[in-house]
Structure 1
Amino acid sequence: MSYSKCSIRKMLPKNYLRKHVAHDINVATANFKTLVPRMDKFVYNDGTSKDLMSLSGTLPVKFNDMTYNIPVCLWLEDSYPQTPPLCYVRPTQEMMIIRGNYTSSNGEVELPYLEEWKSGECNLVSLLQVMQVVFGECPPVCMQPHSEPEHASCK
């Protein structure tokens, strides 16, 4: 589903740069159709929470010639685009996070692209493309190991 700039702008509180943020989200959802914008509550590490715009869904990633859908959530603070999105891998119940060079144990995505974020040069589409490349080299999730059901022994 694609979202119009107007419908996205209506979701955004007035403290956001609504025109710019709506444009970036519109372009991102046009390029990555599995991502959905919505206002939601984000909880910071210190326990405080805030309503933020998020883009969540799956990001198609090629790994070993197969395409996998990595569940992600990008949070845009009201300081976006001056500050980068807060990016997380959000595994399903069947998945577990693989801590690596670009993913912490809580699923936070840590990329040089985010650390070197420059307003006006960086955007959501290029961030998502960088995530696809990096996750294709080093996937941030894997399937949970299945434990074998215990069989009743015969006596």
Structure 2
Amino acid sequence: MSFSGERIKKMLPKVYLRNHVAHEIYTALTHFKKLEPVMDLYVYNDGTKKNLMSLTGTIPVLYDDNPYNIPVCVWLEETYPQSAPICYVRPTREMMVLRGKYISSNGEVMLPYLEEWKHGNCDLVSLLQVMAAMFGDYPPVCMQPQPESTEQTSCWLQFQRESEVSMTDESLYMYLNREDGQPFLQENETNC
């Protein structure tokens, strides 16, 4: 679906800096074709809910010279561009989040670019480029283990792609819960 700057502007509530935000979103969409603007309900950690604009879809990532599409959601608060976007990796049902250096266990993206956000120096296109580069170095998702598989699963991580490729990174940890929802005891933890 094609989004014009004017169409995006009409989607934005008046509390946003509509001209500026619509222009940034439109520019981001010209570079990242698999994202789309969506007004949706965002729930903050304290339970507060707000309708916010987001860019939802996938961004292309290059890992080991192979392309992957990483599902993301980039939320823009009403104070954007003065405040940094809130970014999440949004795994499909077949995927799971890999908690790591820049990703929390709930999929929140925590990049220095976001922490050091300055209006006028930072923008959506640059943020998405930083995310794509960082995800190429520190992949944020892997495929869910297949419970019906009787073969022993290795610690190689598979990423969503037309033909799946494996990789590993010593700085990533995979945390799994038992069938009863409780975490494994320390002696059962695996560091891949």
Residue 124 of structure 1 pairs with residue 128 of structure 2: no
Deviations 1:85-125 (A, max 9, x none): 00000000000000011000000000000000010110000
Whole-angstrom distance in 2 between the partners of 1:2 and 1:10: 14
Residue 103 of structure 1 pairs with residue 99 of structure 2: no
Matches within 5 A, 1:40-119: 40-119=40-119
For residue 149 of structure 1, report the CA deviation from its aligned partner: 5.6
Aligned residues of 1:2 and 1:29 also touching (Cα < 8 A): no
Residue 171 of structure 2 corresponds to which residue in structure 1?
none
Residue 7 of structure 2 corresponds to which residue in structure 1?
7
For residue 143 of structure 1, report the CA deviation from its aligned partner: 0.3
Q: Say which structure, 1 or 2, has more relative contact order (CA 8 Å, 6+ apart).
A: 1
Residue 134 of structure 2 corresponds to which residue in structure 1?
134
Whole-angstrom distance in 1 between the partners of 2:95 and 2:55: 20
Alignment TM-score, normalising by the size of structure 2: 0.76
Whole-angstrom distance in 1 between the partners of 2:127 and 2:77: 16
Whole-angstrom distance in 2 between the partners of 1:31 and 1:149: 39
Moved over 3 A (4+): none
For residue 65 of structure 1, report the CA deviation from its aligned partner: 1.4
Give ranges in structure 2 of 5+ residues lacking alignment: 151-192
Q: CA RMSD in A?
A: 1.0
Whole-angstrom distance in 1 between the partners of 2:35 and 2:125: 11
Alignment TM-score, normalising by the size of structure 1: 0.94
Whole-angstrom distance in 2 between the partners of 1:18 and 1:149: 51
Give the partner amino acid of 1:132: A
Whole-angstrom distance in 2 between the partners of 1:19 and 1:38: 17
Whole-angstrom distance in 2 between the partners of 1:122 and 1:102: 18
Give the partner amino acid of 1:32: F
Deviations 1:42-91 (A, max 9, x none): 01111111000000000110111111110000000000000010000000
Aligned residues of 1:96 and 1:142 also touching (Cα < 8 A): yes
SS at match of 1:42: strand
Give ranges in structure 1 of 5+ residues lacking alignment: 151-155
Whole-angstrom distance in 2 between the partners of 1:84 and 1:57: 19
Whole-angstrom distance in 2 between the partners of 1:129 and 1:13: 27
Give the partner amino acid of 1:23: H
Whole-angstrom distance in 2 between the partners of 1:132 and 1:121: 19
Percentage identity across aligned positions?
Answer: 66
For residue 38 of structure 1, report the CA deviation from its aligned partner: 1.3
Whole-angstrom distance in 2 between the partners of 1:104 and 1:114: 14
